[in-house]
Amino acid sequence: MIEIDRVSHVFQTSGRQNHLALSEISLTIENGAFVSILGPSGCGKSTLLYIVGGFVSPTKGVAKVRGKAITGPGPDRGPVFQEFALFPWKSVLGNVAYGPRQQGVKHAEAEAQSRRLIEMVGLRGFEHFYPKELSGGMKQRVALARTLAYHPAVLLMDEPFGALDAHTRTRLQNDLLNIWERDRKTVLFVTHSVDEAVFLSDKVVVMTRSPGRIKQVVNINLARPRRRAELLLDPRYQKYVVEIERMIDDTSEDKLQP
Amino acid sequence: MISGHALISRLAPLLACLGLLGVWQVAALILSTDSFPTALEALRAIPSILGDKESLINILASIRRMAIGFGVAIMVSIPLGLMMGRSRGVASFFNPLLMVTYPVPKAALMPIIMLWLGVGEVAKILVIFLGVSLPVIYHSFQGAKAVEEKMLWSGAAMGLSAMQRMTRIVLPAALPEILTGCRTGLVLALITMVTSEMIARQSGAGNILFNSLDMGQYDTVYAMIIIIGAMGIGLDAAFEKLRSRLVRWSEPGFDIPLSFA
């Protein structure tokens, strides 16, 4: 369980001004839930994810994982970034096996595990390719496999499909859901796409424009496993999308704070 | 089969060298002064230099100094540059020092160094060290600074400590840039090696060169220049081979993105 308790974050702009990125965020995420954080760009949604990851310390408030305050990054929380952040000097296999090797898994065992994961993300046959030789979608598959390889309890996904074309994006969303259905990890997924958030999530946290506040948390009550083709025709899905889109468009958001 | 184009581009460097020697030969024949031997005379002097035990010892001593100066310099400069690239504090401490040293020709420090350390090995190695350090520090610094934050975060999430992130992420990620600095450093090592031997004449390739100049053995002077030049080309080519092997993963020619979701 992730508990975010009145977390605020202030950072200094290059003009030496204090900018309030997040204001008094409180949020609880249950184990095994797929939660999206949705908001316009610059609303601090990625910062919130980085705070849970332990990459950024909150200025005020506490974020806890399984009851313990987060003080830094750890293998219980695995990030997947929009920028992929693969190790370019390692092959696909080397990248995926990196985490297990770091955790002391024997070489042969780490490789066997990694090969299974590479197959799971659909990259069988590409084990010895270098990141430079892969397309964006393939890189993000590798990044996902690399993170899954060290078995984090929580996946922290920072607009992971944001840099991909629409077709690749859809394929990766489907594959991510399939993978998630198997082990139901807790997922915190940052996105600015309403469709994506509704399609994937149990819960969509809608944030306001800067300074980021939680505007509303919408529970998505759609059956799983979800199939894209069926969902797009489902009026309930459409209703969620329209409802959330309106929420984001609404400019008088200050009155609507929780 | 090598196509016509490939053959031309492979032979081009050789043709350029032959062309240069040809121009030299003709110019020397036209001018015909003692101080400007023909290309053939200079080339003919090479075997006698390399066959002479004394000269060979001198040249090997030069190479040894160069290797030590270069080796120590990269062992100090790479870690320093990397730390500067990742820590604002370290960078702002060393930056002014480097900015002051950067424009000073390292050979110009030779007289002072000789006053302190004499004309022996240490003084010359120190000058080579100084000559190599700056480009290596600079490129290591740039390389480390450019390492993507998210890459380091990914490592931190896997449980890599700050020190491990430095040696296992920053170092390999910055390697292409570091090696570019080393390549410049290698050529500078050769240059400072020769200059230091010109100033503190005692032994070495630079010493042979200037002694023969004093004695008016111009063919030897030119032959030494060819030998030093060839050493430079050889070292650079060997290093480039090593470099491209080490950073094959980052080479632009290697960049063949596949279209596959």
Domain presence at residue B18: no
Percent of the residues in chain B that have a pLDDT greater than 70, as a whole number:
95
To the nearest whole angstrom, how far is the Cα of B122 from the nearest Cα of chain A? Answer: 38
Does residue A238 contact residue A220 with C-beta atoms inside 8 Å? no
Give pLDDT, residue B260: 44
Domain presence at residue B79: yes
Interface test with A, best of B150, B177, B255 (most A CBs within 10 A): B150
Query: CB distance from A94 to chain B under 8 Å?
Result: no
Count of residues for chain B? 261
Of A53, A133, A172, the CB nearest to B258: A133
Alpha-carbon distance B241 to B219, whole Å?
Answer: 33
Contacts of B173 in chain A (CB under 8 A): 87-89
Mean pLDDT of chain B: 89
Contacts of B126 (CB under 8 A, 6+ apart): B69, B113, B117
Section B184-194 average pLDDT: 93
Q: Is B39 exposed, middle or buried (0-12, 13-18, 19+ CB in 10 A)?
A: buried
Angle between helices A136-148 and A92-102 (to 10 degrees): 20
Give pLDDT, residue B261: 39
Q: Which residues of chain A have pLDDT under 70?
A: 251-258
Alpha-carbon distance A211 to A257, whole Å?
Answer: 12
Alpha-carbon distance B45 to B39, whole Å?
Answer: 10
Contacts of A172 in chain B (CB under 8 A): 261
Domain presence at residue B27: no
Strand order in the sheet with A18-29: A18-29, A2-12, A60-65, A68-69
Q: Which residue numbers of B have CB closer than 8 Å to A's CBs?
A: 148, 150-151, 153-154, 156-160, 169, 172-173, 175, 247, 249-250, 254-261
CATH number at residue B155: 1.10.3720.10
Domain extent at residue B77: 37-247
Count CB pairs under 8 A between chains A and B.
91
User: Nearest to residue A212, comparing CAs of A69, A33, A37?
Assistant: A37
Residues A227, A229, A233, A239: what is their CA dihedral angle, to the nearest 10 degrees?
50
Contacts of B159 in chain A (CB under 8 A): 74-75, 99, 102-103, 150
- Tokens for A123? 């990259």
Domain presence at residue B45: yes
Contacts of B257 in chain A (CB under 8 A): 132-135
Alpha-carbon distance A59 to A45, whole Å?
Answer: 15
Domain presence at residue B17: no
Strand pairing category for A34-38 and A203-207: parallel
Contacts of A98 in chain B (CB under 8 A): 158
Query: CB distance from A134 to chain B under 8 Å?
Result: yes
Does residue A191 contact residue A38 with C-beta atoms inside 8 Å? yes
Domain presence at residue B117: yes
Sign of the alpha-carbon dihedral angle for B75, B79, B82, B84: negative
Query: CB distance from A120 to chain B under 8 Å?
Result: no
Contacts of A83 in chain B (CB under 8 A): 148, 150
pLDDT digits (tens, 9 = 90+) for B63-117: 999 999 999 999 999 999 999 999 999 999 999 999 888 888 888 888 888 889 8
pLDDT digits (tens, 9 = 90+) for B130-163: 999 999 999 999 999 999 999 999 999 999 999 9
In degrees rounded to 5, what are phi and psi of residue A248? Answer: -75, -40
CA angle (A56 as vertex; A54, A62 as ends), nearest 5: 70
CB contact under 8 A, B157 and A85: no
Does residue B160 contact residue A78 with C-beta atoms inside 8 Å? no
For chain B, what is the domain count?
A: 1
Give pLDDT, residue B64: 94
To the nearest whole angstrom, how far is the Cα of B134 from the nearest Cα of chain A? Answer: 26
To the nearest whole angstrom, how far is the Cα of A244 from the nearest Cα of chain B? Answer: 29
To the nearest whole angstrom, how far is the Cα of B109 from the nearest Cα of chain A? Answer: 40
Give pLDDT, residue B144: 97
Section B213-227 average pLDDT: 91
Of A73, A89, A135, the CB nearest to B153: A73
CB contact under 8 A, B150 and A134: no
To the nearest whole angstrom, how far is the Cα of B149 from the nearest Cα of chain A? Answer: 8
Of B151, B160, B249, the CB nearest to A130: B249
Closest CA in chain B for residue A129 = B249
Query: CB distance from A130 to chain B under 8 Å?
Result: yes
- Domains in chain A (CATH in brackets) are 1-76+154-160+182-215+242-258 (3.40.50.300)
CB contact under 8 A, B250 and A134: no
- Tokens for A150? 């060290």
Give pLDDT, residue A251: 47
Domain presence at residue B222: yes
Alpha-carbon distance B174 to B137, whole Å?
Answer: 12
Please tell me which residue, B242 or B108, carries the higher pLDDT value.
B242
Domain presence at residue B21: no
Q: How far apart are the first and last CA of chain A?
A: 22
Query: CB distance from A162 to chain B under 8 Å?
Result: no
Does residue B113 contact residue B127 with C-beta atoms inside 8 Å? yes
Global confidence as pTM: 0.88
Give pLDDT, residue B1: 54
